[in-house]
Amino acid sequence: MAMEPGSPAEEGTPSARRRPIREQRLILISAAVALAIFAIGYWIPRYRFDEYLVAVVRPSLSWGELVRLIVSVDPAPGPWYLLTKPWAAISSDPAWMRIPSLISMAIAVAALVAFMRRATDTRTALFAGVVALALPGTSRWAQDNRMYAAATAFLVLALLFWWI
């Protein structure tokens, strides 16, 4: 008679003790693959207009001007502006300014794989990760200095932590 996964009888077996390690490895590998794929050529295009505003114009404002702009004109991306201001103090080069988006989208893919692994099985989780990597919008927002990659990461992480 086979034991049910997660049952008290199954928890002490060697395969049950290895499961968290396998899941962690799966998540780390999916994050590394996503980061590698998203990083291909991310520095090549120069800034688009909106991206230039986020990377160069908004960080050049004083903290008071930036807060007034967020409160009165542009509240939705306000947290992103607050994050990019100190980041842009190091460099406003497109390759540097896009790193937070690259990392955010890699986290989103890894969190999606983790969620799908917990909700279904490993094969479905890997399929979901591949589909996420294949979507043009995913790589586009990973390579753009805008708030969309971070918003995606927070959304998928919220889903993952809600599921736990």
DSSP 83-143: HHHHHHHH---HHHHTHHHHHHHHHHHHHHHHHHHHHS-HHHHHHHHHHHHH-HHHHHHHT
Instruction: Tell me the per-residue pLDDT of 85-143, one tens digit each, with 9 for 90 and over.
Output: 999 889 888 889 899 999 999 999 999 999 999 999 999 999 999 999 999 989 889 98
What is the predicted pLDDT for the residue at 152? 95
What length does the chain have?
Answer: 164
At 46, the pLDDT band (50, 70, 90 cuts) reads confident
CA 53 to chain centre: 22
